[in-house]
Each structure stands twice: as C-alpha cells, then as structure tokens.
C-alpha cells in the first residue's frame, strides 16, 4: 500500500486504532444500543428518552446471517470500482446482542461463512484519494 495516512470513509462510525470498534450509542433511559448512533430520540417505542451515551461497541460477535451482494450497495457503503460481488455478514455483537451489517474482509466469501461463526471487526482500505486512504469496517472470521 502507499504511504498515505489512513482516514475513515465515514467519519465518526468507528475508531481508527488497529483493534477498531464501532461507535454507537446507548439510551440512558432504557439501555438500548444503536448503531449508527442515535442522538435525537430513542427508537424503542416504549421509551421517550432523548439522552444517549456514546459507546464503543463489542468488536466481536457471531454470524447471524450472510449474503452475497451482487449489486452496488446504497450509501454510505462504498463498493470497489469496477464493482465485484462480495459477501455481507450480519453479525450479532457479543455484548450488545444487536445485529450489525458489514462487508466481509478481503479474501473471504460466503463459502467461508457459517451461521454462528465467531467474527471480529477489522479496518480495510476502500479507496485512495489524493491525500489519504479511506478505510472502513469489515467482518473477518475469527481464527482460532
Ligand atoms: Zn430508550
């Protein structure tokens, strides 16, 4: 890779350390977790809170579902150009038990995935700009 600095493809959605974590929010009233983070109102229909704590979410979880994306994803997901099909995993986070969608790390396809398989969060480059390399979160099978 080039010597350009890495920058998040989407600002404020994940930390930029090697062991990246998604940044979500937790409702101060009912304790429900959200990703991407909520800051205006709680989506829990039984809760009227507008107070949230910003929290870093679990960086591991288990595959809940997965699919092959054979179409261009909607924003804010950015696909390589020219477009190549890739796998998307829905991973249930270890602690929060919420499901977070993400692309599967380079080198892995749906053939490598199984429901219930442990996964971890990684950062991988998406594309280069003149100034930096944009990175985003992906799910990678946890090796044992
Ligand atoms: Zn709430």
Instruction: Tell me the CA–centroid distance for residue 136 and ligand 1, in Å.
Output: 28
Instruction: Tell me the CA–centroid distance for residue 32 and ligand 1, in Å.
Output: 6
Question: Residue ranges of the domains in the chain?
Answer: 12-57, 58-144
Write the pLDDT tens digit of every residue in 53-111. 999 999 999 999 999 987 666 666 666 666 777 899 999 999 999 999 999 999 999 99
Please give the mean pLDDT across all residues of the chain.
Answer: 90
Contact at 8 Å (CB) between 32 and 47?
A: yes
pLDDT of 18 strictly over 70: yes
Instruction: Tell me the CA–centroid distance for residue 24 and ligand 1, in Å.
Output: 14
Write the pLDDT tens digit of every residue in 120-130. 999 999 889 99
The model's pTM is 0.85
């Amino acid at each position: 890779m080039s010597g350009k600095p890495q920058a998040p493809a989407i600002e404020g959605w994940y930390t930029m350390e090697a062991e990246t974590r998604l940044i979500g929010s937790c409702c101060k009233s009912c304790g429900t977790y959200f990703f991407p983070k909520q800051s205006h109102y709680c989506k829990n229909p039984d809760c009227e809170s507008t107070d949230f704590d910003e929290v870093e979410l679990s960086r591991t979880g288990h595959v809940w579902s997965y699919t092959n994306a054979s179409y261009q994803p909607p924003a804010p997901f950015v696909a390589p150009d020219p477009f190549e099909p890739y796998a998307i995993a829905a991973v249930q986070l270890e602690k929060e038990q919420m499901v977070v969608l993400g692309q599967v790390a380079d080198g892995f396809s749906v053939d490598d995935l199984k429901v219930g398989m442990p996964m971890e969060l990684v950062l991988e480059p998406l594309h280069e700009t003149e100034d930096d390399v944009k990175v985003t979160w992906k799910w990678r099978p946890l090796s044992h």
